[in-house]
């Protein structure tokens, strides 16, 4: 499914013609922003044509189909190629082309480290931004580094001498430490995926609702996991037992499952969020759950919009590209 939104009005006067395209191309979804030369959004396009549905040779036709009504006609020799700057799984080994990881500690990789994707259409030049890796312990991120780049650009913390802690909730949540504008280390937790697997493919599928919530049950389970994380696996089965023996509601079970898993994650990162200022990147429901969990522990994180930061990171990459191309 594809959804197009636009045109939009930006700040600083009327929008100009299409100058470049920003793309967040993930595993399941693609988001495109069509922008003018002042980074004002002309159109937004959302599609379910993520990496999981594509092969390397179908990325170009997919992109051209989505942009069909926005690109100049073929054969216009006076038209320079439009830059498409992409972050996310499009640059993975299973994506359009592999953009090799930068190794932490490092700044969020930018346009200088980007890989040019193979494309036949002369109207477009496609750049794939790299992710970041650590070797000991082994860990990787793709896409989140662009949000971090946007955070650094908007918050102007690059060059500061204090450590910032960033939490990026998701299917695979990331906790990253930043210092002096660099990602010094990060850790990935499969919390979101484990929740989905237990809810849909384990014995808990019989007692955990797809929707609904219980704040008290979430808080209790969160405290339980934080106080004794080694018991979390045993506590998970008690969700099923209470459903059988105590007529526990499916909504309460859902909140307990979330509280136990997020609590175990917070237990593993406790030293960081109790000693460093932290920001949650995200405004969706999951990000608000993390914020709620931290507030219950006395931590007061900031929460900022992840989509805004993704676009800010892509705009920062484009600014460097323009600088590199300037005579």
141, part of any domain: no
Among candidate residues 79, 100, 130, the one where a domain is terminated:
130
Q: Using CA atoms, how far apart are residues 126 and 85, in angstroms rounded to an integer?
A: 6
pLDDT digits (tens, 9 = 90+) for 107-128: 999 999 999 999 999 999 999 9
Look-up of token digits 């005579």: 327
129, 111 contact by CB (below 8 A) = yes
Q: Note whether 108 and 205 are same-domain residues.
A: no
Q: Note whether 194 and 110 are same-domain residues.
A: no
Among candidate residues 107, 130, 153, the one where a domain is terminated:
130
**Is residue 136's pLDDT more than 60?**
yes
181, 155 contact by CB (below 8 A) = no
Q: Note whether 265 and 193 are same-domain residues.
A: yes
153, part of any domain: no
Q: Note whether 38 and 123 are same-domain residues.
A: yes
83, part of any domain: yes
pLDDT digits (tens, 9 = 90+) for 149-162: 999 998 764 455 57
pLDDT digits (tens, 9 = 90+) for 224-238: 999 999 999 999 999
Confidence grade of residue 241 (pLDDT, cut at 50, 70, 90): very high
Q: What is the mean pLDDT of the chain?
A: 92
Question: Residue 312: which residues within 8 A CB-CB, separation 6 or more?
Answer: 149, 150, 151, 153, 154
Give first-to-last CA distance, the chain, whole Å: 42
Closest CA to 220 of 265, 198, 253: 253
Q: Using CA atoms, how far apart are residues 234 and 314, in angstroms rounded to an integer?
A: 44
136, part of any domain: no
207, part of any domain: yes
CATH number at residue 23: 3.30.420.300
Q: Note whether 125 and 193 are same-domain residues.
A: no
233, part of any domain: yes
161, part of any domain: no
98, 91 contact by CB (below 8 A) = yes
Closest CA to 19 of 37, 40, 7, 2: 37
152, part of any domain: no
Q: Note whether 7 and 118 are same-domain residues.
A: yes
Query: How many domains are contained in the chain?
Result: 2
Provide mean pLDDT across the span 72-91: 86
Q: Note whether 120 and 221 are same-domain residues.
A: no
CATH number at residue 267: 3.30.420.310
23, 30 contact by CB (below 8 A) = yes
> What residue numbers bound the domain in which 47 lies?
2-130
Q: Note whether 13 and 118 are same-domain residues.
A: yes
Q: Note whether 200 and 110 are same-domain residues.
A: no
């Amino acid at each position: 499914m594809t959804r197009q939104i636009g045109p939009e009005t930006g700040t600083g006067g009327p929008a100009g013609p299409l100058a470049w395209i920003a793309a967040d191309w993930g595993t399941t979804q693609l988001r495109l922003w069509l922008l003018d030369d002042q980074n004002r959004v002309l159109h937004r396009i959302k599609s379910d044509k993520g990496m999981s549905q594509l092969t390397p040779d179908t990325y170009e036709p997919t992109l051209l189909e989505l942009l069909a009504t926005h690109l100049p006609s073929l054969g216009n020799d006076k038209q320079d190629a439009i830059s498409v700057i992409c972050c996310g799984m499009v640059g993975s080994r299973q994506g359009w082309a592999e953009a090799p990881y930068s190794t932490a500690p490092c700044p969020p990789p930018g346009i200088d480290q980007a890989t040019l994707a193979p494309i036949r259409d002369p109207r477009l030049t496609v750049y794939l931004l790299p992710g970041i890796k650590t070797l000991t312990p082994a860990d990787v991120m793709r896409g989140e580094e662009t949000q971090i780049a946007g955070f650094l650009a908007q918050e102007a913390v690059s060059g500061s001498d204090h450590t910032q802690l960033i939490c990026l909730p998701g299917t695979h949540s990331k906790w990253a430490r930043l210092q002096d504008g660099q990602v010094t280390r990060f850790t990935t937790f499969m919390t979101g995926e484990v929740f989905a697997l237990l809810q849909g493919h384990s014995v808990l599928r019989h007692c955990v609702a797809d929707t609904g919530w219980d704040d008290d049950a979430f808080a209790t389970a969160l405290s339980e996991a934080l106080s004794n994380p080694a018991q979390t696996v045993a506590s998970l089965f008690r969700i099923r037992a209470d459903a059988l023996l105590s007529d526990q509601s499916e909504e309460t079970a859902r909140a307990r499952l979330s509280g136990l898993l997020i609590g175990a994650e917070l237990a593993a990162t406790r030293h960081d969020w109790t000693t460093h200022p932290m920001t949650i990147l995200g405004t969706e429901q999951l990000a608000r759950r993390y914020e709620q969990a931290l507030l219950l522990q006395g931590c007061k994180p900031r929460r900022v919009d992840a989509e805004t930061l993704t676009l800010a990171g892509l705009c920062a990459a484009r600014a460097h590209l323009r600088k590199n191309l300037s005579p």
